[in-house]
């Protein structure tokens, strides 16, 4: 007769060479989710502080749009291709992703604190160079802030992409839907806490917020680097002979050729280009529409945003179940259609604080659907061994296109009379256009095996993928 201990089997979860018990998996989840919590607070502060600070300096709509999105797009398309390949190929005692987190997080922290002290830095610089060259304090402040935004855009690109690559390497695929559901819930919770309790102080006490958020952010990512371990990877392909510069240029060309050579990946990139263009229009000018056009106070705006975030958090729980049982590709398509309709509704129907509240709560639901489902699609769609390269193409090309689309959005607001309401019309047009390539993605996903047998296609130059 078997004893009770003999009949109990320990369940292990595997990804690559990593093997977890339930307890070990819970520990890894905790550290990764804590990092996302702090990173979301960082992004919420940065994303809202930037347009408000620039508006206070009388910056043009074009400059606001470009610094909000175009600078990040430029750094993505110029730097991310080689950085993603570098990360895929890197082998070290810390792994292939964690070193990128370790070196970028401290500099990002110093940069954020510098943004909070921009007026002080500008005043000091004006005392040094202003009297000699007739440069105004406002112009110097714009220059200082723009330089800090450029540094932040480059390093956020490195950190966020390396973090996403790390998730793919250390989280088993069988629990990925549940992890990403928790991932989004934690992000929503952090956004809610910041918006509800701290948004009102974003312009009144920027130094305190930037120091506090910066140190929280730094501590969380240093703990991830210490506590999360990557597995072993097979040796990377041999490096080609020749100079480092020529090899980098060759890799840059090969990156785009391979990422764009397969139709399903190419169409998904088109979806992201259009989605990011629409999100940038509403994102860069949404806070200005609420506060400047509708006359909502900063405190009330923050609470409305927090309530919308709270609705998102509640919605993520059932949405995780939906994505698990009705595949994420289909959920993404439906969510995209509803997002387009939401932007049209805001343009035509929102004229006061009550309307903005209703819009914020209603728009949160399809936003959750897209946010969770698109992340799941990305994790499944691309091949594992070269996940950094292929998944980063969404950011490199999608965000890279924002160099153009952000400038277009800023200029279009001016052409349409300078009303921030027009941002939602632009957003609707871009979202509606994204539906077409998303339908093509759905069709090709079914062709390559669908929900049960999907196999990521490889470019002609890679007939066999090296597993890990």
Q: What is the pTM of this model?
A: 0.67
pLDDT at 416: 78
- What residues contact residue 281 under an 8 Å CB cut-off, 6+ apart? 409, 423, 424, 426, 427, 430
Listed range (125-134, 213-222, 326-335, 414-423) with the worst mean pLDDT:
125-134
Phi, psi for 461 (deg, rounded to 5): -75, -10
Residue 168 lies in a domain: yes
The verdict on residue 237 lying in a domain is no
**Does 109 reside within a domain?**
yes
Give Dmax (Cα) for the chain: 93
Which residues neighbour 325 within 8 Å (Cβ) at sequence distance 6 or greater? none
pLDDT value at position 156? Answer: 87
In this prediction, residues 428-452 reach a mean pLDDT of: 90
* Predicted confidence band of residue 337 (pLDDT cuts 50, 70, 90): very high
Does 25 fall in a domain?
yes
What CATH number corresponds to the domain at position 35?
Answer: 1.20.1250.20
- pLDDT tier, 4 (very low <50, low <70, confident <90, very high otherwise): very low
67 belongs to a structural domain = yes
- With a cut of 70, say whether residue 284 has pLDDT above it: no
pLDDT above 60: residue 5: no
| Domain enclosing residue 214, as ranges | 10-232+254-453
Judged by average pLDDT, the poorest of 67-76, 94-103, 188-197 is: 67-76
Total domains present in the chain:
1
**Mean per-residue pLDDT over the chain, rounded:** 82
Judge whether 238 lies within some domain: no
247 lies in some domain:
no
State mean pLDDT over 123-136. Answer: 74
The least confident of 1-5, 94-98, 240-244, 461-465 is: 1-5
Higher pLDDT, 108 or 423: 108
Neighbours of 433 (CB within 10 A): 17
Percent of residues, the chain, with pLDDT higher than 90: 18
Lowest mean pLDDT among 16-30, 54-68, 332-346, 419-433: 54-68
Residue 245, pLDDT > 70, answer no
Distance CA 443, CA 422 (A): 33
Q: How far is CA 136 from the centre of its chain?
A: 35
pLDDT score for 111: 92
Q: Is residue 460 part of a domain?
A: no
């Amino acid at each position: 007769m078997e004893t009770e201990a003999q009949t109990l089997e320990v369940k292990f979860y595997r990804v690559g060479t990593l093997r977890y018990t339930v307890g070990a998996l819970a520990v890894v989840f905790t550290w990764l989710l804590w990092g996302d919590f702090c990173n979301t607070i960082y992004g919420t502060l940065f994303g809202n502080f930037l347009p408000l600070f620039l508006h206070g300096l009388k910056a043009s709509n074009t400059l606001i749009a470009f610094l909000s999105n175009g600078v990040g797009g430029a750094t993505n398309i110029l730097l991310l291709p080689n950085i993603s390949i570098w990360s895929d190929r890197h082998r070290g005692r810390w792994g292939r992703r964690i070193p990128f987190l370790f070196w970028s997080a401290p500099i990002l922290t110093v940069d954020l604190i510098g943004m909070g002290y921009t007026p002080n830095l500008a005043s000091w610089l004006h005392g040094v160079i202003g009297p000699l060259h007739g440069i105004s304090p406002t112009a110097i402040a714009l220059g200082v802030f723009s330089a800090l935004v450029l540094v932040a855009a480059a390093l956020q690109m490195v950190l966020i992409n390396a973090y996403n690559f790390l998730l793919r390497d250390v989280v088993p695929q069988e629990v990925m839907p549940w992890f990403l559901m928790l991932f989004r819930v934690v992000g929503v919770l952090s956004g809610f806490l910041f918006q509800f309790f701290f948004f009102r102080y974003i312009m009144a006490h920027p130094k305190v917020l930037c120091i506090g958020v910066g140190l929280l952010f730094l501590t969380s990512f240093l703990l991830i680097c210490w506590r999360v371990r990557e597995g072993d990877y097979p040796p990377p392909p041999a490096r080609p002979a020749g100079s480092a510069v020529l090899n980098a240029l060759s890799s840059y060309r090969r990156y785009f050729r391979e990422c764009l050579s397969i139709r399903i990946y190419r169409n998904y990139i088109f979806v992201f280009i259009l989605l990011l263009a629409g999100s940038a229009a509403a994102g860069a000018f949404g806070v200005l529409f609420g506060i400047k056009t509708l006359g909502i106070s900063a405190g009330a705006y923050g609470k409305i945003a927090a309530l919308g975030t709270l609705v998102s958090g509640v919605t993520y729980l059932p949405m995780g179940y939906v994505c698990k049982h009705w595949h994420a590709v289909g959920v993404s398509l439906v969510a995209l259609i509803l997002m387009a309709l939401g932007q049209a509704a805001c343009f035509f129907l929102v004229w006061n604080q009550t309307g903005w509240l209703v819009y914020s709560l209603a728009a949160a639901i399809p936003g959750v659907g897209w946010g969770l489902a698109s992340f799941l699609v990305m994790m499944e769609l691309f091949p594992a061994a070269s996940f950094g390269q292929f998944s980063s193409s969404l950011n490199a090309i999608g965000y890279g296109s924002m160099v153009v689309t952000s400038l277009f959005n800023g200029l279009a607001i001016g052409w349409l009379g300078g009303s921030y309401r027009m941002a939602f019309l632009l957003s609707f047009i871009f979202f509606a256009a994204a539906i077409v390539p998303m339908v093509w993605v759905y069709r090709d996903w079914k062709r390559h095996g669908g929900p049960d047998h999907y196999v990521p296609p490889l470019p002609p130059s890679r007939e066999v993928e090296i597993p890990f």
